[in-house]
Each structure stands twice: as structure tokens, then as C-alpha cells.
Amino acid sequence: MKLNGATIAEDIVQRVVERRGSEHCFAALDPAKTALVVIDLQHAFMNEAVGHAVCPAARDIVPAVNRLAAAVRGARGGVFWVRMTHEDHCLDDWSVAFAIATPAARQKRIAALTKGSLGWQLWPELDVKPEDEVVDKYRYSGFLPGTSELADRLRARGFDTVLITGTVTNVCCESSARDAAMLNFRTVMVSDGNAASTQAEHEASLTAFYNIFGDVMDTDMLLAALDRGAAAKAA
């Protein structure tokens, strides 16, 4: 299956079709119940001057993310910008993650993600609007209970479907997508709205998610799905 930004092997697609009955289980979207979730598009992951784990491809997906954000807003859905955040309590709350890093890597990460720093701030080319929501998270997953308000804030506004974009595909984005599915959200990873360090890692992550957890579609497909949903509601 060829998508913008990724290819998923046909044997995996066939396996999914046999299990679910179609290639795309969430192709029908109710726009008013759909939220775009943008993971970690911050200077820490996009700006070599201050970043600790820069993924250059993350800069390339910004136009697709902005297109989706505009479409979701226009369809009366919601847009949620999620920031990876470091505060002092993280050193105790997530001590194992810090312990397995070298001292230099640990300090670089802390400096890049400390709340209020440039690294922590959203990338300036993102089209963030006043009506959007910004959510801080303290683990890779934005949906892990106790470490983010994202799931509660989505549910408070009646959203049951999430479109996952951001960086990196195979860490924070996939972690968030899997947890969203486990929390009973209809979850789609956007093939050209996620970025990883290599194409191989990107496609392996999307394939694993598509095979079991949810759906993978590209921006054009999702824009069409939103249009179809809006037309169906208007009929």
C-alpha cells in the first residue's frame, strides 16, 4: 500500500483486510468528533542550535500538519499541540530513563526540554491558533495516565477519534498512538505527518501500528474523509 510518506507491505495489508474487512477501518470520520494531535514539534527536535535529539525530517512535515490543522478546525474538530516537557520532578518520577543515559546526554536533554526554554517551545512555522489547545506531557506518550491531561481534555470536548502527527514516528508518536488506542480512541497515524530519523524506522513503526492497533492514512486521504463526513452530516 503506497501512501504519501510511506509504503506498507502488501502482505501486511492483506492480513489487515482479512481481519477487519477493509484496508482502512477509520476511513469514515465524524469531523466534530475528530481531533488532530501534534506530538513534540518543538525546537528540541527541530533546531540544531538548541535541540538534543534533532530529527531533520520533522521540519519537512510542517506543511502537511498545518494543512490538517486548518481542515480539522474548519470541520469543527479540535487541534491539540503536545509539548515534551522537563521539570525537576521528572528526575524522580522517570528516574530509569535518566539513569540509562550518559551524563552528557542527560544534561543536554534537560536543557533542551526544560519548561520555558527555547527548546521546549513549539516550532515557529506551525500554524497555532488561539482556539487550539496546548498540552504538556512528561513521558514519551501523550496518553499515559498521570503524565498528561491530553486524554481528559479530548474527552471533555467529545472527541473520540485522534489523528496522530509529529516526531519521532517510532518513539513519542507511536507510543501516543498505541496508548490512545488502548484508551479506546479511534486512532489514525498520518503517514506524511510523522517524521523519524530514517525512512526504515518510520515505515516499521507505521506498519506495526497499522497491523494491530489502528489505521494509517496520509493527509490527502484524511482531508477527503473529513469532507465526506461533513457532507454526510449536512445531508
What pLDDT does residue 181 have? 98
CATH number at residue 64: 3.40.50.850
**Pairing of β 161-167 and β 133-137:** unpaired
Task: Say how many Å lie between the first and final Cα of the chain, rounded.
Answer: 32
Structural domain contains residue 111 = no
What pLDDT does residue 73 have? 97
Query: DSSP secondary-structure letter at 77?
Result: -
> How do residues 24-73 score in pLDDT, each as one tens digit?
999 999 999 999 999 999 999 999 999 999 999 999 999 999 999 999 99
> Is pLDDT of 235 > 80?
no
Please tell me the total count of domains within the chain.
Answer: 1
Cα→Cα distances 169→4, 14, 24, Å: 15, 23, 19
> Is pLDDT of 203 > 90?
yes
Query: DSSP secondary-structure letter at 149?
Result: S
Structural domain contains residue 193 = yes
Strand ranges, E, within 103-208: 133-137, 161-167, 186-195
Cα(167)–Cα(30) distance, integer angstroms:
25
**Residues 184/186/191/194 CA torsion (nearest 10 deg):** -50
Query: Given phi > 0 = left and psi -120 to 50 = alpha, else beta, which region is 143?
Result: alpha
> Which cell numbers in the block locate residue 118?
527555547
Threshold 0.95, pTM exceeds: yes
Q: Which domain holds residue 53?
A: 2-85+119-234
The answer to whether 118 touches 46, Cβ cutoff 8 Å, is no
Structural domain contains residue 97 = no
> How do residues 115-157 score in pLDDT, each as one tens digit?
999 999 999 999 999 999 999 999 999 999 999 999 999 999 9
